[in-house]
Structure 1
Amino acid sequence: MLDFCAIDFETATQERNSACEMGICVVENGEIVKTETWLIKPPSFPYFHPRNIEVHGITPEDVVDAPTFEDIWHEAENLMYGNLMIAHNAAFDAGVLRGCLDYYGFFKPKLNYLCSISLAKKSWKNLPRYGLKTLADHHHISFNHHRAGADAEVCAKISLLAFQNLMVTRNEEVQEVMKKSVKLL
């Protein structure tokens, strides 16, 4: 069966290590079993770029008592261990994960990751756009966009629908169907 985690980050600045929120949605045997969200105090604290706040609405006041990425990583890693990681615009989220791991001196887990945009494009060839909100609207899924837990969960739901559409039922088939789209973190 399909086992993966969908991940999403919101950032405080343009710096890749500036995660201010992380969401992970765990899928086991093709079913969503858990979604976790952490507010994170970024290294730039108390500075948040106004544009980032405009996108996600998270302010320095929201994270003043939040743990750092260093404090939450082991809990998050346990949810991701051995899984395929999927993110919408995965280059960004994988970059934030790498940036945070590097900043705090953690080893990178041996994780394969896949972009749900590539997956959606393979599954639904004629959509005008493939943004997370567009795909969610197309599939009648409502959510609180640009909040990490909600975005991760919608990414998981969209991915499950795409896998179903492509008749992918096991992790071993993901690599075959998606070819070069699966990358190593």
Structure 2
Amino acid sequence: MDFCAIDFETATNDRSSACEVGICVVEDSKIIETKTWLIKPPSFPYFSQYNIDVHGILPEDVKDSPTFDEIWYEIQDMMYGTLMIAHNASFDAGVLRACLNHYGIFTPKIDYLCSIQLAKKSWNYLPKYGLKHLAEYHQIKFKHHRAGADAEVCAKISLLAFEKLFITSNEEVSDYMKLKIKKL
């Protein structure tokens, strides 16, 4: 299995207001790297109090951080040629799309899959499928709502789901989850 897990935190309810992104790279079914960037969002210095309450990132935390367009090529290099997985992927794919659009960056052809869909196929008896609940179920400890930690837990849960479903290659994911795989 080769994929990257991605997670965004935003400064406001505007999808282009990414203030943190985390990427976890998986090659041959092993986590090889997790990287996190704080991002100065277009809304800077404005952050919604609701969003701050969720992730704890403050405007002063990102005042010297790069903007999304300044780190995009490094992010893209980590994602190149892989399947992108996110927990609640419609949100993270929407943030990625909005950030690319905001900065006039060409949207790459990326297939993405939601780890919630994988979890529902793997553990259809669970009452909840939030990242925190799945991590607790699998006894994975992490700092929730920080992008790098969330991306890594998403990767770990996805790997456990693939194992439970006996999926061992990206081709098998495409066959098994074809109706759930979306294009960015």
TM-score by length of 1: 0.99
Verify: 1:101 aligned to 2:139, yes or no.
no
Q: Deviations over 1:50-90 (max 9, x none)?
A: 00000000000000000000110000000001110000000
Q: How does 1:128-147 map to 2 (within 5 A)?
A: 128-147=127-146
Which runs of 5 or more structure 1 residues have no equivalent in the other structure?
none
Verify: 1:53 aligned to 2:60, yes or no.
no
- Partners of 2:122 and 2:106 in 1: how far apart? 34
The amino acid that maps onto 2:42 is P
> What stretches of structure 1 move > 6 A for 4+ residues in a row?
none
Match of 1:51, SS?
helix
Q: How does 1:5-154 map to 2 (within 5 A)?
A: 5-154=4-153
Match of 1:180, SS?
coil
Following TM superposition, by how much is the alpha carbon of 1:176 offset from its aligned partner in structure 2, in angstroms? 1.2
Following TM superposition, by how much is the alpha carbon of 1:131 offset from its aligned partner in structure 2, in angstroms? 0.1
Match of 1:179, SS?
coil
- Partners of 2:81 and 2:183 in 1: how far apart? 12
- Partners of 2:86 and 2:123 in 1: how far apart? 17
Q: What percent of counterpart residues are identical?
A: 70
Following TM superposition, by how much is the alpha carbon of 1:179 offset from its aligned partner in structure 2, in angstroms? 2.5
- Partners of 2:116 and 2:30 in 1: how far apart? 20
- Partners of 1:55 and 1:23 in 2: how far apart? 16
The amino acid that maps onto 2:163 is Q
Q: Deviations over 1:2-57 (max 9, x none)?
A: 00000000000000100000000000000000000000000000000000000000
Q: How big is the alpha-carbon RMSD for the aligned residues of Structure 1 and Structure 2? A: 0.4
Which runs of 5 or more structure 2 residues have no equivalent in the other structure?
none
TM-score by length of 2: 0.99
Number of positions where the alignment pairs a residue of Structure 1 with one of Structure 2: 184
- Partners of 2:42 and 2:169 in 1: how far apart? 39
